[in-house]
Copies of this chain bind each other. A is one copy, B any other.
């Protein structure tokens, strides 16, 4: 549904979700107080409760919104690409495109927040992580079928490596406030893709 086709109530609801998302992404579920959520949304507690049953429902929608935003950003310009080219462009998007939602990758943040915490968020992030890895795995498997990627490649392990290395590098880059870890891991992954996934062609 496009923004201008939303009713006033639905627009307000969406504005609350967007404002709350950056609070949850930066402060975590437990660390996000109602005062901060009120400040970010510009609403009183009652104004938020008019649209959401409570903090948990708001956090759930905020996670969906953040994850969709991050996912779309990482898929920018990938239409028409396949196999090795898709993987490298995806990695480049991850390294270079920053989400409008402050605080870094919502999967990484929510996973660390919820692994010992809120069960609803834990379920949501587990599902999102699975679908993320599954997308990469499918690109690799399709690449094998189309002859762009070597047969015998363990597509699930390759997808895990790409997700793990990017997420770990993002953690390092954010805490050290430099792109260096992300760029170093990008170089490694691109080499890995060329050497171990791509069908070697002789030009």
Contact = CB atoms under 8 A, between A and B. Distances in A.
Contacts of A156: 184
Contacts of A172: 111, 129, 160, 163-164, 167
How many interface residues does chain A have, given as a range?
35 or more
How many protomers of this protein does the assembly include? 2
Interface stretch (A24-32, A41-49, A51-59): A24-32
By secondary structure, the A interface counts as helix
Contacts of A180: 160
A192 to B, nearest CB: 8
A98 to B, nearest CB: 13
Interface of A: 26-31, 102-104, 108-109, 111-117, 122, 125-126, 129-130, 154, 156-157, 160-161, 163-169, 171-172, 174-176, 180-181, 184-185, 187-188, 192
